[in-house]
A = this chain, B = another copy of it.
Amino acid sequence: MTTGGPPRDHGDPGDAPTVPPPLTEPVNTARPSAAEEARTIAASTNTGTLASLTADGDPWASFVTYGLLDGAPVLCVSNLAEHGRNLAGDPRASIAIVAPATESDPLANARVTLAGYVERPEGDEHAAARDAHLSAVAAARYYIDYSDFSLWVLRVQRVRWVGGYGRMDSTSGAAYSDAEPDPVAPHAARAVAHLNADHAESLAAMARALGGYPDTTAATCTGADRYGLDLRLTTERGLAYTRIGYPTPINVIDELRSAAVELTRRARMR
């Protein structure tokens, strides 16, 4: 978990749209760490793009399927395919994974690069890796035991997470391995829709009292995770974004309702 504003990679945005700053200190900006975000993205799908090295050391991008073994991508590729030959020749590799799109602007969506090197799993790890791949990629049962196919586990050493515009961070392979995917975010769509449909005034009250934007006129929840809510605000100064952390993190989607009730109570108390 981290707190504080999102890091930005770019300088002066020139004449691009600007976002008004908060007028008061947000009460609790707790949100998933980069390692947690990366684990959540990796767990959200079963396809990505591998970067491997050709015999000439050229970078080769290729579509792959994967399963996860404690967060490490498990690939199953043919030794006859270019990426299979590449991995056998040089184990350095990375994989880019894009979370299922929630925004129409592609760069607003979350993605991650996991970089390191591949190894062929052996013994108990081979069995676990095979199970991990098969449980994520059902069709692999038709080819996983072909003699020309091999399993590869990506040992993640370095992680680059991009959550969308202006939300990005790097982290280590160790932090990635130690983190866990968010248990709430993948199941939050219905609860978020309910908050927006039936509790819009509560969300605006949270933004005014807890989110640093007392001039909020309307608020929309754009996502929920174990640590809190992301809100998009209409303020008297224009479009803004804030974060409303729960008093304590939650572990399952069923706890979101009581957390939102408590946030509403605190917002109206202030």
Interface residues of A (CB under 8 A from B): 9-11, 13-14, 16-17, 46-53, 57-63, 65, 78, 80-82, 92-96, 98, 105-108, 111, 113, 115, 137-139, 142-143, 145-148, 160, 162
Q: How many copies does the complex hold?
A: 2
Q: Inside 8 A of A48's CB, which chain B residues have their CB?
A: 49, 61
A168 smallest CB distance to B (angstroms) = 9
Contacts A49-B49, A52-B59, A61-B113 aside, 20 further interface pairs with beta carbons under 8 A come to: A10-B78, A10-B148, A11-B148, A14-B145, A16-B146, A48-B61, A49-B51, A51-B59, A57-B57, A58-B115, A59-B60, A59-B92, A60-B113, A61-B96, A62-B113, A63-B162, A82-B113, A82-B160, A106-B137, A108-B139
Q: Inside 8 A of A96's CB, which chain B residues have their CB?
A: 49, 61-63
Q: Max chain B CB contacts within 10 Å: which of A10, A57, A148?
A: A10
Q: Inside 8 A of A160's CB, which chain B residues have their CB?
A: 62, 82
Is B61 in contact with A9, judged by CB distance below 8 angstroms? Answer: no
Is B46 in contact with A106, judged by CB distance below 8 angstroms? Answer: yes
* Contact flag A143-B10 (CB < 8 Å), given A63-B98, A95-B61: yes
How many angstroms between the C-alpha atoms of A155 and B102 in the bound complex?
A: 32
When C-beta atoms are compared, the residue in chain B nearest to A54 turns out to be: B115
Q: Inside 8 A of A139's CB, which chain B residues have their CB?
A: 105, 107-108
How many angstroms between the C-alpha atoms of A63 and B145 in the bound complex?
A: 31
How many angstroms between the C-alpha atoms of A17 and B145 in the bound complex?
A: 14
Q: Inside 8 A of A142's CB, which chain B residues have their CB?
A: 13, 16-17
A82 smallest CB distance to B (angstroms) = 6
Q: Inside 8 A of A115's CB, which chain B residues have their CB?
A: 58, 60-61
When C-beta atoms are compared, the residue in chain B nearest to A111 turns out to be: B63
How many angstroms between the C-alpha atoms of A138 and B106 in the bound complex?
A: 10
How many angstroms between the C-alpha atoms of A25 and B65 in the bound complex?
A: 36
How many angstroms between the C-alpha atoms of A268 and B15 in the bound complex?
A: 66
How many angstroms between the C-alpha atoms of A62 and B159 in the bound complex?
A: 11
